[in-house]
A and B are shown apart, each in its own frame.
Chain A
């Protein structure tokens, strides 16, 4: 771990272990808030902020937190940060708050954040953890933004609010089925580009799931 350069830690989250497209974590917000590009971007930035600070705090507190109650401790730290972000968004971007709705407080249960706390921040130094959080957050934001762009262009015929074409858009892409479909196709595309290597390594990403340790199913491959 120590041999890794700072840059590779940062890039790891964006490309090689992109939390959404390669590890398939945090699927719920990925599909729920990406009906437009700006929503995807907003959600990505909010989650990135939480991720960076939770990684910093947990890494700084790793010697203080007793091993047995670490998951509840992480959850409290994350929930506190999410509350701060939630109120900041409410104060300065109330439109975004309305369109993200319940998914803003639900950042707490986003597997990516707890997963990174458990897998990276609890084992690495503060600076590395901050970089890892930033990389993972940017990877998450990038994936959400891509989903948002595809769904907005196809579903509403606009991009970031600008009208693109005059004929009728395929509005189903804006709705729930479109979310599943675009996400499926994006993962397939990543699979194709990486020749299936990335996904096979961690099918259904159960090993990356924070509850993997508790449920014990990951080893058996049943999850």
Chain B
């Protein structure tokens, strides 16, 4: 249990996917303008990350690795994720139209989100079994959500400030992200101490 909590919290805080590992920067910069779209996008990311891990981890451990097919990892993972996103979208559309309405627009964007493929590859590299892998994916997703929500707040304040002409738009957003990322560095070493 302690081990799981350590994995979960280090994925959220210390190894935050967006601010420390630089994965999923495109949606982080693109969709963080408004709080509700930031929440919708992160919910979709958490959902797809969990589904992708649940699908790719057993396939790697029980199909690819025993047969010496590790070299197919990248091809298989990206295809699974792409197919999964399509499948989830179709199923949600049919059975849970309200959820589809909330997440739908963000789902296709996620196929090419490197955070999703990243979490699948990292889980394999760490040699996690299914449960720790799912916990790690959940942590990564929650960390993404935390970063998005925090940053949506920062950005809403940023709209009113007077920035130099050449810094308008992306550059000032990146500089602000740098400061938010600096605050996450404070969590380094914290999680190991928490669950001793």
**What is A's interface to B at a CB cutoff of 8 Å?**
24, 27-29, 31-32, 71-72, 75-76, 79-80, 82-83, 86-87, 101-102, 105-106, 108-111, 114, 172, 175-181, 183-185, 187-189, 191-192, 196, 199, 203-204, 206, 209-211, 214-215, 217, 222-223
Contact = CB atoms under 8 A, between A and B. Distances in A.
B171 interface: yes
A209 B111 CA distance: 12
A188 B168 CA distance: 8
B166 A191 contact: yes
Interface of B: 19-26, 29-31, 37, 71-75, 78-79, 82, 105, 108-109, 111-114, 117-118, 121-122, 125, 164-175, 177-179, 181-182, 184-185
A31 B25 contact: yes
B166 A189 contact: yes
A111 B113 CA distance: 9
Contacts of B82: 71-72, 75
Contact of B74 (A105, A204, A210): A105
Contacts of A211: 108-109, 111-112
Question: Which residue, of A82, A187, A217, has the highest number of chain B Cβ atoms within 10 A?
Answer: A187
A18 to B, nearest CB: 14
A32 B23 CA distance: 8
Given A176-B20, A178-B178, A181-B178, A214 B108 contact: yes
Nearest to B174: A184
28 contacts: A27-B26, A27-B29, A28-B25, A32-B23, A71-B82, A76-B75, A101-B125, A102-B118, A102-B121, A106-B23, A106-B118, A108-B74, A176-B185, A179-B22, A180-B177, A180-B181, A181-B175, A181-B178, A184-B172, A184-B175, A185-B171, A185-B175, A188-B166, A191-B169, A191-B171, A196-B166, A204-B29, A223-B30
Given A176-B185, A177-B181, A177-B182, A183 B19 contact: no
Nearest to A175: B185
